[in-house]
Amino acid sequence: MKRVIVKAPMSSANLGPGFDVLAVALDAFYDALELRVVGEGVRRVSVRVSGAYSSSIPQGSGNVVLGPILRALEASGEKLEVEAILDKGVPPGRGLGSSGASSAAAAFAINELLGGVFDDDELVYIAGEGERIASGEPHYDNVSASLLGGFVIVSPGDRVRVHRILGGDGFRFLLAIPEIETPEKKTGVARSVIPRQISLRDHVISSSNLAKLVYGIATNNPAVAGEGMVDHIVENARVSAGLIPLYREIGKKALELGAYGVCVSGAGPSILILANEDLHDKIGKEIQVIYSSRGIKAKIISTRPAEGAKNIA
């Protein structure tokens, strides 16, 4: 019986001013996915979910792993009966690319089973089918980061293309994850508050920050990258809509304590802070105090760029 086990990391998309464009895979949480070929001659996929967050996500045919697996089987012409066992380690609904990690694991795993017939760009597209199940339309930033690892630039459009940024490996992030109730279709809500029109001036400021962020990552310069993490287009809208509790307070405190930069992780409510590792303890404690003062429980995790999806058995 053919069998593969794959793990794929969480990711933070919409990095700073890189809305729908920049993402990073982080080693704080992983999904693991086992695929077993249990029959041939028919395309059928069954899904079982275990792990820390199994109760918070759709089981069976509503699970995102189904999309990429079926898409890959169709595209390759293979007729296989596949059993998928998902160990759900990435918390959903927190802006941590949870469905992207599952989708990436699924695309990577089925490609392994099929003998590696798809290239990276094709895998991103295949993984996007999982995101389509999760939120109605595919967003390729999360899946790209979880697939390829590290920092990625995504080209939008019908023909998705992804560039892995070689750089930023030494960056260290703090991830602040508030345990608040989030809306059922959080991503949709978070997108609905974004302005459809942007002033030329805001566009120019955003462009300048994005250029610094990419340059800072490519040259392993966290000070330049942190300067470029400032976003006031998408973040402002989401913060104003109350989707990212205590964002301004936490950002201000982190920068005061020496962090290089702060942004929302994905569509929030989690917050991503770029800071030297030796500051993580101190910043983490202060953030915890801010959340506590409003009665919000939060996990604060020190994390680093992760490798992409990989075969672990």
By the 8 A CB rule, do 247 and 95 touch? no
Contacts of a second copy in 159-198 (CB under 8 A): 163, 165-166, 194-198
State which of positions 283-312 bind a second copy (CB under 8 A): none
In the bound complex, what is the minimum distance in angstroms from residue 165's beta carbon to a second copy? 6
Number of chain positions touching a second copy (CB under 8 A):
38
Place of tokens 């610094």: 212
Nearest distance from C-beta of residue 78 to a second copy, angstroms: 33
Contact partners, residue 10, CB within 8 Å, separation at least 6: 25, 26, 28, 29, 30, 90, 96, 97, 98, 101, 146, 306
How do strand 44-50 and strand 80-87 relate by DSSP bridges? parallel
Q: How far is the CB of 155 from a second copy (least distance, A)?
A: 5
Considering the rule CB under 8 A, would residue 204 count as an interface residue with a second copy? yes
| Binding residue (CB under 8 A) for a second copy from 37, 75, 189, 233 | 233
For residue 162, give the nearest of 142, 180, 181 by alpha carbon. Answer: 142
CB atoms within 10 A of CB 130: 29
- Which residues is 242 bridged to in the sheet? none
Q: Is 22 in the site for a second copy (CB under 8 A)?
A: yes
Strand partners, 95: none
Q: Torsion-angle region of residue 159: left (phi > 0), alpha (psi -120 to 50) or beta? A: beta
Residue from 206, 265, 270, 303 touching a second copy (CB under 8 A): that is 206
Smallest gap from Cβ 168 to a second copy, in A, equals 11
Q: Are 265 and 229 in contact (CB under 8 A)?
A: no
Minimum CB separation from a second copy for residue 145, in Å? Answer: 14
223 binds a second copy (CB under 8 A): no
Q: Is 83 exposed, middle or buried (0-12, 13-18, 19+ CB in 10 A)?
A: middle
Is residue 157 near a second copy by the rule CB under 8 A?
A: yes
**Which of 4, 70, 143, 210 is in the footprint of a second copy by CB under 8 A?**
210
User: Which of 207, 240, 293, 311 touches a second copy by CB under 8 A?
Assistant: 207
Q: Shortest approach of a second copy to residue 171 CB, angstroms?
A: 16
Using alpha carbons only, what angle is made at residue 63 by residues 60 and 309, rounded to the nearest 5 degrees?
125
Query: Looking at 56-64, 67-75, 217-225, 254-262, which segment touches a second copy (CB under 8 A)?
Result: 217-225
The verdict on 18 binding a second copy (CB under 8 A) reads yes
Amino acid identity of residue 27, one-letter, is D
Contact positions with a second copy (CB under 8 A) in 48-87: none
Binding site for a second copy (CB under 8 A): 17-22, 153-157, 163, 165-166, 194-200, 203-212, 214-215, 218-219, 224, 227, 233
